[in-house]
Amino acid sequence: MQKLTLPLFECLPGMIVAESIRNIENGAIYISAEQELTVDNIENLRKLNCLEVSIYVNSWDTVWKIPEETLESYTGSTDTVKPLLQQVASGQPIDLEAFKSIKDDILNNFKDNFKVIGCINLFKFADKYTYTHSINVALLSMLIGKWMKYGSNMVESLLLAGLLHDIGKMKINPDILNKPYKLTDDEFEEIKKHPRYSYELLQYRHDISMDIKVGILMHHERIDGSGYPYNVYNENINDIGKILAVADVYDAMMSERPYKKKHSPFEVMQLMQEGAFGKLDTKILLTFLTNVASYYVGVYVLLNTGDVGQVVAINPSCVYRPIIKVKDKYIDLFIDKTIDIIEVT
């Protein structure tokens, strides 16, 4: 875990001390390493004229402060999705009412957007990807719907579509689905059938709208016609499909898989803005990137210089190259192209 030395006046309750704070004259320990800072001991250190403290950098805890009940709700949703998908894999019908129940729980428990972004960053386990991905795409699609100013009915449709978008993967051979290294061309062609499989599993259900079914079918289509399964163009892809595409790409890039390490959020934003521009809907993509970037203000990042700094502002013209504070110096990564973010600590 990265360490960072902060002036005492920048230390906050909840930060974890990385190195014991001692009396320089007699060696007495004021605060032990691994101890959590509180309002009282920060005040005591001030009275003792302590100028700086070495802390562990833990951006997710110090920035988002995700409540325990929120973490339990997220893991509970993931644990609930798992057997529902396994039922489909075994040939049983989709329990749509159970998926709708998860949708309602998410609506009730994730009204704070900070909690959504925090949970998506915290839980990145390769062995649970299939299940966390369904939850994450549902959460991200919900956020995009809100940021696009859609009404509550559309937001609920996006949530349900996110939960169900990859259900067709349950019809694919698990050896292909969970292969820990690069797929062969034939195996990838099989993977590319999953949107159609998802649609086929849902097509005769009258308790789910056609917009959701079509959006699920089209979540791998691209506006330039380079997607699959039908290579359709912009005007033929519905809004649910376009939003699912953005959420799906973002979470896939952010996730650790057996055959790849996860990217940092800023690297993902760069890859999406530069690599997916012209493939994903421009308005949806830029709305998503602009909004999601703002939630990383306050996090600590490791730079290629070896320094650890704090994100203090987002450049609206280039969200993946923010302004970083390193000690008492501010670095605008949009101006200084020699400095890059290696990872969020």
pLDDT in tens, 137-193: 999 999 999 999 999 999 999 999 999 999 999 999 989 988 878 889 999 999 999
Beta bridge partners of 310: 300, 325
Q: What is the pLDDT of residue 311?
A: 93
Residue 95 to residues 116, 129, 139, 256, 298: CA-CA distances in angstroms?
25, 21, 20, 29, 41
- Cβ atoms of residues 212 and 206 within 8 Å: no
pLDDT confidence of residue 113: 87
Q: How far apart are CA 49 and CA 27, in angstroms?
A: 15
The position carrying tokens 């973490």 is 71
Rg, C-alpha atoms of the chain:
23
Per-residue pLDDT at 129 exceeds 80: no
Q: Which residues lie across from 329 on neighbouring strands?
A: 326
pLDDT for position 306 = 87
Is residue 257 pLDDT above 70, yes or no?
A: no
**Over 80: is that where the pLDDT of 259 sits?**
no
DSSP 67-97: -HHHHHHHHHHHHHHHHHHHHHHTTPPP-HH
- Distance, in Å, from the CA atom of 14 to the CA atom of 34, rounded to the nearest integer, reads 11
Average pLDDT, the chain: 89
| pLDDT above 70: residue 338 | yes
CA distance 25 to 186: 71
pLDDT above 60 (res 125): no
**pLDDT at 54 (0 to 100):** 86
Identify the pLDDT of residue 88.
95
pLDDT over 60 (residue 265) = yes
Looking at residue 64, its pLDDT comes to 62
What 8-state DSSP symbol labels residue 262?
P
Residue 238 near residue 211, CB atoms below 8 Å:
yes
What is the 3-state composition of the chain as percent helix, strand, coil, each rounded to the nearest 5? 50, 15, 35
Of 8-17, 29-38, 59-68, highest mean pLDDT: 29-38
The mean per-residue pLDDT over the stretch 221-227 comes to: 96
Share of the chain above pLDDT 90, in %: 58
Q: What's the confidence (pLDDT) of residue 261?
A: 66
Whether residue 61 is predicted with pLDDT greater than 90 in this model: the reply is no
Q: Mean of the pLDDT values across residues 47-67?
A: 74
User: pLDDT band at residue 255, thresholds of 50, 70 and 90?
Assistant: confident
SS3 340: coil
Q: Residue 165: phi, psi to the nearest 5? A: -60, -30
pLDDT at position 1:
60
- The pTM assigned to this predicted structure is 0.85
Cβ(89)–Cβ(162) below 8 Å: no
Give the model confidence (pLDDT) of 269-305 as tens digits: 999 988 777 899 999 999 999 999 998 888 888 899 9
Check whether 122 has a pLDDT greater than 80. no
Omega before 265 cis (within 30°)? no
Work out the pLDDT band at 250, boundaries 50, 70, 90.
Answer: very high
Please report which confidence band the pLDDT of residue 254 belongs to, taking 50, 70 and 90 as the band edges.
confident
In the prediction, which pLDDT does 42 show? Answer: 87
pLDDT in the model for residue 128: 72
Asked if pLDDT for residue 260 goes beyond 70, the answer is no
For residues 277 and 87, the model is more confident at 87
